Structure 1
Amino acid sequence: MKRQVFREESIISGYRHPRSSAMDCVLSSFQMNNETINIWTHFLPTWYFVWRFLALCSTMNFLNDSYTWPLLVYMLLICIYPFTSSCAHTFSSMSAESRHICYFFDYGALSLYSLGCAISYGYYVIPDCWVNSWLHQHFVLIAIGNSLFCTSMSCYSRFVELQFPKRSKALRTGAFVVPFIFDTTPLFYRVLSCFWGGGNPSDALSSHCCHLLFAFLTCFLFTAHLPERLAPGRFDYIGHSHQLFHVSAVVGTHFQMEGVIADMTSRRAWLQLHGSMPSFLGTIGALTVSLALNLAVIGIFSAPLLWKTRPSSSQQHACKEQ
C-alpha cells in the first residue's frame, strides 16, 4: 500500500527506491529519473530570483524605506518557494511518511508565497478607486487567513489521497485556487477596467497579463495530467505535466515580479499621496505571524506521521535483547 504513495498517474517508470537515504536522494538529482527535472526546474530558478533580489538590494533601501517593505516580503518568498519545492522533490523518496512531510513544507511555502502576492498587490497593484476601502484595509489580514486555509487543506488532502484520489485532487486544487482568486481580484479589476474603458495597458499591466496567462496554464497542467495521460510511459522522464507545471509557474512568477516592480516604481508618488504607507505589522510582521502559524499547522499534520515512524516499546525491547 505504501508503494502507491509514490506512484503518479500515467507515470510508469523512473521511480526512485521508496526507502532511499538522504545521500541517495541528493545523488539521484544528478541521475535521470522521473524527479530529476522536477528538482532542477525549481532549483535553478531559485538562484535567478536570488540574483534579482540582490540586484534590488543594491538599488533600494529595504532597511529604512517602508514603501519597499511589501516588495521585500514578496522577493523573499519567491526565492523560498521554488527552493522548498526543489528540496521536497529531492527528499520525497526516503519513506512514505517523509514524502508527506516534504510536501507539507512545499505547500506551506506556496501558501506563504500567496501571502507575499497579497501583500505586494495590496500596496502596489490595488486599483485607484479601491485605495483606503474596507477591502484594502483588511486585504493582508484576509490573506493571512487564506494562507492558513491553503496549508491546512492541502496537507489534509494527502491523508485521503489513497482512498479518495479525486477528492484529494479537488481539495488540493481548491486550496490553492482560493487564495489565487482573492489575491488577483484587484488585478482582474484593473485588467477589465483597462479593456472595457479602452485604455492602453501599461508595462506593468502587460506583465501582469502574461502572469495571468501562465497562471491559468499552470492550473491546467496541474489538473489535466497532460501529455502523459495520452501516452502513459512515454513522458516518464522528460515532458510530463509536473515538469511543465514547474516551468509554467516559474515563468509566470517572473512576469508577476516584473509587474509588481513596475507598479511599485510608476505608482509610488500617487500611492504615497493618496494611500497609507506600508507598516511593519502589515508586511514583515504579517509574514512572521503567518510563518509561525503555518509551521504550527505543518507540525500538527506531521506529528502523527512522526509518531508512526517511532519504534514501539516492544520493538525497542527486542532490539535490546538482540
Structure 2
Amino acid sequence: MATIVMERIGHLFINLQQVRQVPRMLREAVPSMPGTLRDSEVPPFFRDKNIHAGYRPPDQGWRYYFLSLFQRHNETVNVWTHLLGALVVLTKSAELSETVDFAGDVHAWPLLILLISSFAYLAFSTVAHLLSARSEFHHHAFFFLDYVGVALYQYGSAVVHFYYAVEKDFSWLPRGAFMPVAAALGWLSCLGCCYGKYHDRRLHPWVRKVGQVVPCALAYAWDTSPVFHRIYSCLPSCGRDPAVPFHCGQVAFFLSSSFFFTQPLPECCFPGRCDFLGQSHQLFHVLLALCTLSQIHASHLDYLGRRPLYTQLHGDGQGPVFFMGLFVALGLATALTALYMTWKVSRQIGQRDKVK
C-alpha cells in the first residue's frame, strides 16, 4: 500500500512540474509581440486622422499580423466586428440550408447570392484590417480586396430586393435593365474606391470621399429602390407584412452606418481618446453588420411568403440563372480591377525606390 501511495505522489509531482512548464511552453510557441507605435512612428499612409496611437509596426512577419488578432491595437475592434459578423452569416447560411433547397430550387439562388456576397464582404474586410499594416503595398492590396467585397455585396442586395421585395406596380423601367445596371454600379463602386485609395495622399480628402461615396450612394439608391417603393406602397398598414419591419431596419442601419463612414465622430471631438475603442469606423462596421443580418432575415421571409408573387413576376426561373451569371461576371471584373490597381501600386513603389 505504501508503495502505491508513493507512486501516486510521484506521478502527481511530475504532473505539477509539467503544469509549471505550461507558461514557458506558451512563451516559446507564441513569441512576445512587438509593441504598438504612435502615429509619428509609422509611415503617413498608415495614419488615420485623430487616431494617435495603437499602430502596429510594419515589415514584420506574417505570423505577427495573424497573431495580432489577439493583440490590443487600433484595428482590433474593426477586425473582430466583421470577423464575428462573418461567422454569424456562415452560421445563418448553414441554418437556412437545412430548410432551403439552394441546389434544386433556382428561386432560392438570389438568397444564396446574398449569403455568399455578405460573407465575402465581411471576410474581405476582416482580412484587410488584420493584414494591411505589413507594408504600403499590402495596405493597398488588401483594401482593394475589401472593395471587391463591397461591390459583390451591393449586387447581392440588389438581386434579393429586385427578385423578392419588388411589388407588381414597380414598373418605372424595363425589368431586364435593373440587374445589369446594378452590376455596372457595383463595378463602378469598386473602381471609385480603388482609385480613391490609390491617390489617397495626392487628392484633397473631400475629393477622395466624393470618388468613393458617390458611386456607392448611387448603387445603394438603385439597389434598394424596390424596398423603398414597397415600404411606401404598404403605408400605413406595413405591420401586416412580417418582412417589412426588417426591411425598415436594414434601411435604418445602413443610413446610420453611412453617417459614421463619412463623419469622423466621435474621434474628431476626442483626438487620441478613441485609439482603441469608439472610432467612427468601428460604429460603421457594427451598424453595417446589423444591416446585413436584418436584410438576410427579411429576404428569407420574402422567399417563404411571397413565392406566388415572385414566380409570377419573374417567370419560370431563367432570371436567377442570369443573375448568378452576372454575379460571377461582376466578381471577375472587380477582381481584375483590384489586380490592375495593385499592379499600379507595385509599379509606383518600385519607381519611388529607384529614385531613392
Q: What is the TM-score of this pair, normalised by structure 2?
A: 0.83
Structure 2, gaps ≥5 residues long: 1-39
Instruction: Report what 1:122 is aligned to.
Output: 162
AA paired with 2:215? A
1:239 to 253, 278, 286: 278
Aligned equivalents of 1:313, 1:264: Cα separation in 2: 55
Structure 1, gaps ≥5 residues long: 316-322
Instruction: Report what 1:17 is aligned to.
Output: 57
Deviation (angstroms), 1:313: 12
Aligned equivalents of 2:347, 2:157: Cα separation in 1: 35
Please list the CA deviations of residues 155-186 of structure 1 after superposition, one character each: whole Å capped at 9, or x if unmatched. Answer: 00012221222211221111321111110111
Alignment of 1:40-55 (within 5 A): 40-55=80-95
Instruction: Report what 2:346 is aligned to.
Output: 306
AA paired with 2:279? H
Q: Number of aligned residue pairs: give it.
A: 312
Deviation (angstroms), 1:281: 3.6
AA paired with 2:46? F
Deviation (angstroms), 1:288: 0.9
Deviation (angstroms), 1:117: 0.7
Deviation (angstroms), 1:309: 5.2
Residues 1:291 and 1:200: Cα distance change in structure 2 (over 3 Å): closer
Are the counterparts in 1 of residues 170 and 229 from structure 2 also a CA contact under 8 Å?
Answer: no
Are the counterparts in 2 of residues 150 and 179 from structure 1 also a CA contact under 8 Å?
Answer: yes
Alignment of 1:168-317 (within 5 A): 168-195=208-235, 198-201=236-239, 202-279=241-318, 280-308=320-348
Deviation (angstroms), 1:135: 3.6
Aligned equivalents of 1:106, 1:288: Cα separation in 2: 17
Please list the CA deviations of residues 245-294 of structure 1 after superposition, one character each: whole Å capped at 9, or x if unmatched. Answer: 11010011111111111111111012223432443542221111111111
- Of 156-165 and 78-87, more deviation after overlay is shown by 156-165
Instruction: Report what 2:201 is aligned to.
Output: 162
Aligned equivalents of 1:113, 1:45: Cα separation in 2: 14
Secondary structure at the residue paired with 1:203?
coil
Instruction: Report what 2:5 is aligned to.
Output: none
- Aligned-residue CA RMSD in angstroms? 2.1
Secondary structure at the residue paired with 2:73?
coil
Aligned equivalents of 2:245, 2:295: Cα separation in 1: 10
Aligned equivalents of 2:164, 2:238: Cα separation in 1: 19
- For the pair shown, which has the larger CA radius of gyration, 1 or 2? 2
Identity across aligned pairs (percent)?
Answer: 27
Instruction: Report what 1:320 is aligned to.
Output: none
Instruction: Report what 1:319 is aligned to.
Output: none
Deviation (angstroms), 1:308: 4.3
Moved over 4 A (4+): 308-315
Deviation (angstroms), 1:136: 2.3
Are the counterparts in 2 of residues 20 and 94 from structure 1 also a CA contact under 8 Å?
Answer: yes
| Greater RCO (Cα-Cα under 8 Å, separation 6 or more) | 1
Are the counterparts in 2 of residues 122 and 136 from structure 1 also a CA contact under 8 Å?
Answer: no
Please list the CA deviations of residues 114-168 of structure 1 after superposition, one character each: whole Å capped at 9, or x if unmatched. Answer: 001111111101122126x744222111111011101111100012221222211
Instruction: Report what 2:190 is aligned to.
Output: 151
Aligned equivalents of 2:77, 2:233: Cα separation in 1: 40
